Structure 1
Amino acid sequence: MRMYPPSTRTNRKTMQSVTVNGYRIPDGVEVTVPIYAMHYDPELWPEPEKFYPERFSAVNKEKRNPYSYMPFGHGPRNCIGMRLANLETKMTMVRILQHFRLKPTPDMKIPIELDNTSGGILRPKNPVYVLIEPR
């Protein structure tokens, strides 16, 4: 979810003037939070292009800024389906991986090229070819 968040950005409208890092943002201005860019910021995530599950251990999670990881947004207006989506994703992956091995085919382009032209929804630019083998 960090490397491939479902949405690349989220927008919020300011309800009152606010100053952030010395910049004044007037009320009524729409601000874009670049989720994908934050998830690949090396200041927040050393070696951001690499997958390290340890980043999400309890110890590392406590050290991390809570706003550095937000695939479903953050705060009172985050995605209402976040818990369900996480649970469904985990359960689906467990069931698949219990019974099958997934391997890229020779036609699979690695690394996967991403397409962000559909209104902030992240998806593969090309087909994802996977070989599914029974365990």
Structure 2
Amino acid sequence: MKIKTNRKTMQSVTVNGYRIPDGVEVTVPIYAMHYDPELWPEPEKFYPERFSAVNKEKRNPYSYMPFGHGPRNCIGMRLANLETKMTMVRILQHFRLKPTPDMKIPIELDNTSGGILRPKNPVYVLIEPR
């Protein structure tokens, strides 16, 4: 998961009373937004209902940007989402996934690896046929 994205301003703009001149590089802190408790109560918890149609209508569309936003968002976003869902369906149809005793829960995240978010420790999973 990307933790930030950069853009350069094409013209001077004022945001919340701050003037940002033309040609300045602005960093959008995606990781910080995705884990902000004001936007996402209990952000560390797995809560898929956050993304239901009802909840989606209530939130700012820029509060969740896993593929960026606007004209420069990821061209492969739809394909990536579809492939991920189809892969998970096929895996879960045929296998049970369980954490092993060696697995550290909760998973600690490492955001020091060049802008990519990943687990700090190995993730050990037991895969059992259904």
TM-score normalised according to structure 2 size: 0.92
Structure-2 separation of matches of 1:117 and 1:43: 24
- 1:39 equivalenced with 2:42 (yes/no): no
Counterpart for residue 6 of structure 1: none
- 1:62 equivalenced with 2:57 (yes/no): yes
SS of 1:94's partner is helix
Structure-1 separation of matches of 2:45 and 2:109: 16
Structure-2 separation of matches of 1:49 and 1:124: 13
Structure-2 separation of matches of 1:106 and 1:133: 15
Q: Aligned Cα RMSD in Å?
A: 1.0
- Give a deviation string over 1:79-109, Cα, whole Å, max 9, x none: 1111111111101100000010101111111
Pairwise CA distance, 1:116: 2.0
Pairwise CA distance, 1:59: 1.1
Structure-2 separation of matches of 1:82 and 1:122: 18
- 1:89 equivalenced with 2:84 (yes/no): yes
Structure-1 separation of matches of 2:118 and 2:35: 16
**Paired residues, what number?**
127
Pairwise CA distance, 1:118: 2.7
Structure-1 separation of matches of 2:102 and 2:80: 29
Task: Give the stretch that moved more between structures: 17-26 or 44-53.
Answer: 44-53
Counterpart for residue 113 of structure 1: 108
Pairwise CA distance, 1:57: 1.0
TM-score normalised according to structure 1 size: 0.89
Task: Give the stretch that moved more between structures: 92-101 or 52-61.
Answer: 52-61
- Give a deviation string over 1:69-88, Cα, whole Å, max 9, x none: 11111111011111111111
Pairwise CA distance, 1:126: 1.7
| Structure 1, gaps ≥5 residues long | 1-8
Pairwise CA distance, 1:48: 1.4
Pairwise CA distance, 1:58: 0.8
Structure-1 separation of matches of 2:100 and 2:84: 23
- Give a deviation string over 1:41-77, Cα, whole Å, max 9, x none: 1111112122211111111111110000111111110
Moved over 6 A (4+): none
| Structure 2, gaps ≥5 residues long | none
SS of 2:63's partner is coil
- Give a deviation string over 1:11-45, Cα, whole Å, max 9, x none: 11101111111111111111111111101111111
